[in-house]
Amino acid sequence: VAWQQVKEYTDIIFEKYEGMAKITINRPEVRNAFRPQTVDELIEAFNLCRDDQEVGVIILTGQGELAFCSGGDQRVRGEGGYVGTDGVPRLNVLELQKIIKYIPKPVIAMVAGYAIGGGHVLHLLCDLSIAADNARFGQTGPRVGSFDAGWGATYLARVVGHKKAREIWYLCRQYDAQEALDMGLVNKVVPLAQLEEETIQWAQEILEKSPIALRFLKAAFNADTDGLAGIQALAGDATMLYYMTEEGKEGKNAFLEKRKPDFSKFPRLP
Ligand code: 1HA
């Protein structure tokens, strides 16, 4: 695939090709750990994908074969968060988590090597995960003095069950690709050399499907776990669809034409 760069960044690579966007965390010297700037760039790239009508599927990955992402860069961890050039401690990866979860397009994690700590949570929140046979998964928080008691814990329990999720967080072990597949943490395991080819195949199959159907399904899967915030997103999608109908347009047109709306011609289906 002839990926084409969308925009130049320092910590990530952002490319597109025929309906697919590929966002690569590009800090292989630290196993693709993220610092605040990395997260800011990821947020911007995801937001560009959200607005770009050509993009139907987003692939999130890490540079090189050794890691998807190893979580927060512990070298810049200060008091109260990870510190960027502005000196402010931040946990801005939580904003990135929300965008991955709520962007109305499927996001596929393409995982080679380690998906660890906050990097594990990123793959967890992607709609689908395709793993190379060298992938390794795990949380480290209680070992390195951190924890993600948000989606990192609670959504993990929805995905792999409570017993397994508590094991993953309490013991901080690592799990290989086959174990991850067995517990429903990833969708498919392939040899490392076929990772991108397989992921693209999945992306292309998704791209053949109805965007609005996919959008509502993603919103519904989220709404089931996310309470009123999930319903807000699902309801927003319903409003978007209603604005596209003649019935919705009649209300707006009547207002602008300073007349009473005539909804009589619209069906009241069973
Ligand atoms: O929990 C949160 C949050 C919770 C709430 C809200 C926000 C949160 C934001 C972030 C996080 C976290 O992510 S906490 C968890 C942080 N991450 C870790 O604990 C993983 C640390 N890394 C490792 O366990 C291992 O490096 C590894 C299993 C990923 C790879 O092991 P390997 O292949 O043996 O390589 P290693 O030699 O350990 O690492 C290669 C280089 O990368 C080392 O640097 P070098 O000695 O060559 O100078 C290593 O220090 C560096 N490196 C790896 N991971 C990180 C890192 N440097 C900084 N931060 C890292 N996360």
Q: Which two tokens stand for residue 50?
A: 């959200």
Ligand 1 residue neighbourhood (C-beta within 6 Å) = 30-31, 33, 67, 70-75, 91, 93-94, 114, 116-118, 140-141, 144, 146, 148
The model scores a pTM over 0.80: yes
The pLDDT assigned to 242 comes to: 97
Q: What is the 3-state secondary structure (H, E, C) of 143-160?
A: HHCCCCCCHHHHHHHHHH
- pLDDT tens column, 183-198: 999 999 999 999 999 9
> Mean pLDDT in the chain?
98
Nearest protein CA to atom 2 of ligand 1, as residue:
118
The distance between the two most distant Cα atoms of the chain, rounded to a whole number of Å, is 67
112-159 tens-digit pLDDT: 999 999 999 999 999 999 999 999 999 999 999 999 999 999 999 999
- Of 155, 153, 148, 154, which is closest to residue 126 (Cα–Cα)? 155
Cα 270 to Cα 236: distance, rounded to the nearest angstrom: 23
Q: In this predicted model, what pLDDT tens digit does every residue of 214-255 receive, in sequence order?
A: 999 999 999 999 999 999 999 999 999 999 999 999 999 999
ipTM: 0.99
**DSSP-assigned beta bridge partners for residue 12:** 25
Section 165-179 average pLDDT: 98
Which pLDDT band holds residue 28 (cuts at 50, 70, 90)? very high
Listed residue (82, 85, 69) closest to 30, CA to CA: 69
Tokens 């011609």, residue located: 265
Calculate mean pLDDT across residues 6-25: 98
Pairing of strands 114-116, 81-83: unpaired
Q: Which amino acid is at 37?
A: Q
Distance 71 CA to ligand 1 centre (A): 6
CB count in 10 Å sphere of residue 136 = 21
Q: Per-residue confidence at 44, pLDDT binned at 50, 70, 90?
A: very high
